[in-house]
Amino acid sequence: MNFFMLNCASTHAKYKDMMNKRLFWIFGILQHILLGTILFLIFHCFNILHGDRIIGLDTQLLICISFPLFSLLVKYISLEKS
């Protein structure tokens, strides 16, 4: 009886951990896609207001993709350690 309860608790903890990771990936990816879109729109507005390109489109895309991706990676590593 004791072993069964211990096994159920262990299985429940593994299931809960798996659900937390799944939720992290779903909402983390959505959050960082939104962050990249906001950055892209801010740079686009700066270009419209200035009348000329402040930074090139390739640099703009690099920043808007790499910053949220790096941020998501750092958040995943920090949550994995704790």
How many domains does the chain fold into? 1
Q: Is residue 76 part of a domain?
A: yes
Q: Which domain holds residue 54?
A: 29-82
Total-model pTM: 0.72
Using CB atoms within 10 Å of the CB of residue 63, give its burial: 0 to 12 exposed, 13 to 18 middle, 19+ buried. middle
pLDDT-derived band at 7 (thresholds 50, 70, 90) equals low
Structure tokens at 64: 């808007």
Handedness of CA 34, 40, 43, 48 (dihedral sign): negative
d(C-alpha 8, C-alpha 68), whole Å: 38
Give per-residue pLDDT as tens, 30-69: 999 999 999 999 999 998 998 888 888 899 999 999 999 9
